[in-house]
Structure 1
Amino acid sequence: MTDTATPGRERLAEDPAFRETHFVVLDFEGTTPKGAPPEPIEVAALGLKHEAGHGPVRSGFSFQALIRPPTHAPVLPFAVKQTGITPADVSGASPAATVLRALDEELPERPVLLVAHHAPVEGNIIYAYREACPRLAYTRIVDTRLLAKHVVSDLPAYDLDALLAHYGIPQPPHRHRAMDDVSVTASLFRTLLTEAARTHVITSLADLVRVSSRRLRAGEPTQLELS
């Protein structure tokens, strides 16, 4: 996203709240036991921060870890086929509460907003482990799926692969591994912000939160970017 001026029109890059916010793009890979909610087997996060003339660029914050699921949620064959993560890969990993506590403690200083594609998946996992990751649990999530629907309203599909194809963003080498998916979601987020800013669909952080964010069930944030 560039900072090209448009006289008489508010620009997203001019909003102090937008410039100060640290966006943390997040993705879980998981396994889904029969009759129970998904359990995470991998998580990755990547920080983006506004840079004048360039928009949100990588901030230097990153986090990646495999997760050992509970005994009731083994890594199922479908998950192995999709992610390449095997039961042996996670057998020595830490459980979700430990990993998410570590991620929570390493989050950048506020103001922070999370970013994910189809954010209810990430939100439900965070809510399930909210006692271990209170900062995550009280931080709003910008959903790039909702953002895409607001920016371009006539696509036949809004899944991640469809949006990558629409915008010509190359598929990552290991699609459905958490860090690769985080990297392309970050690219998609930047692309959507560029288009939203160019067309003045979104001119402030408040606009972005209003049209594309979700609030986790853990509670009501007391400020826009509570983390």
Structure 2
Amino acid sequence: MNLSPPRLAQDQEFTKTHFVVIDFEGTTPTGHSPEPIEVAALGLRHAPGRGPVPHGFAFASFISPPAHAPLTPSDTAQTGIATADLSGAPPARIVLRQLDEALPEEPVLLVAHHAPVEANILYAYRTACPRLARTRIVDTRLLAKHLLPGLPSYSLDALLAHHQIAQPTHRHRAMDDVRVTAELFHRLLTAAARPRTITSLADLVRVATRAPRAAQPIQLELS
């Protein structure tokens, strides 16, 4: 009798899930929450023998920030995004509605590195992107902490170096960061598959996601 645990690639819930890697670049105005100035998303699907690979969905757009969160010289220095890039760009509510409507069919899980950043932006714009705001995000930072305990840092740059993934040409541009996060996600799942640490989508959700605030029930106060 074979009592070895199942493989992640044998889990039907995992193999039929669309993973959408997402990243925002933004401004951080004093006294306010971050506001997005660029978003990118890339779809992944499991391919037999290859794991999650890009699969027919990509989205990228500049976003015009609100007046209280203008692009600053330090933002430009970090991202390379200039004021001219944002001239004429739509506001976040328009861009995120477009992305929400373009998402692949269910089931979908988002993927991001240090997901609270993305989760907070999606929650802030939840009326424009209700589906995105209610979708769980697989956090590659949490996944790495589960699989690789004891590393000195779990920043994206540190994990890219650990896995010998080349830095993208334009680090801190949304699509470049999405592509290396997708590669990191692939490497982490490969690492999880060898000792069969994670054997199902349910395992992945349990160790590397948190329930989105937009999906939580509203608590009504009794007067």
Give the TM-score taking structure 2 as reference length: 0.95
Matched, 1:176 2:172: yes
Instruction: String of CA shifts for 1:183-209, please: whole Å, max 9, x gaps.
Output: 000000000000011121100000000
Paired residue for 1:86, among 82, 87, 91? 82
Is the counterpart of residue 62 in structure 1 residue 61 in structure 2? no
Residues 23-102 of structure 1: pairs in structure 2 closer than 5 A: 23-102=19-98
* SS of residue paired to 1:153: coil
Pairing of 1:95-114 with structure 2 (within 5 A): 95-114=91-110
- The answer to whether structure 1 residue 214 and structure 2 residue 210 are counterparts is yes
Distance 2:122 2:211 in 1: 12
* Distance in 1 between residues matched to 2:26 and 2:159, nearest whole Å: 22
Code of the residue aligned with 1:64 in structure 2: it is: A
Q: 2:187 aligns with which of 188, 191, 209?
A: 191
Answering whether residue 5 of structure 2 is matched by residue 9 of structure 1, we say yes
Give how far 1:86 is off: 1.4
Q: Which runs of 5+ in 1 are unaligned?
A: 1-5, 222-227
Task: Tell which deviates more after alignment, 185-194 or 197-206.
Answer: 197-206
Q: Tell me if the contact between 1:31 and 1:38 (Cα under 8 Å) persists in the aligned partners.
A: yes
Letter in 2 for 1:219: A
- Distance in 1, Cα, partners of 2:51 & 2:156: 22
Alpha-carbon shift at residue 7 of structure 1 (Å): 7.0
Select which of 5, 16, 19 maps to 1:20: 16
Counterpart Cα distance in 2 of 1:162 and 1:91: 34
TM-score between both structures, scaled by the size of structure 1: 0.93
- Report the Cα offset of residue 8 of structure 1: 2.3
Deviation beyond 6 Å, 4+ runs, structure 1: none
2:37 alignment partner, SS class: strand
Shift of 1:9: 2.3
Cα distance in 2, alignment partners of residues 26 and 16 from structure 1: 23
Q: Which region of structure 1 is more displaced relative to structure 2, 171-180 or 7-16? A: 7-16
**Residue of structure 2 equivalent to 1:3:** none
Give, as a single letter, the amino acid of the residue that structure 2 aligns with 1:150.
H
- State the identity %: 68
Output aligned runs, 1:82-161, within 5 Å: 82-161=78-157
The one-letter code matched in structure 2 to 1:199 is: P
Deviations 1:43-76 (A, max 9, x none): 0000000011111111010000000000111001
**What's 1:200 paired with?**
196
How many correspondences in the alignment?
216
**What's the offset of the Cα at 1:153?**
0.3
Match in the other structure for 1:164 = 160
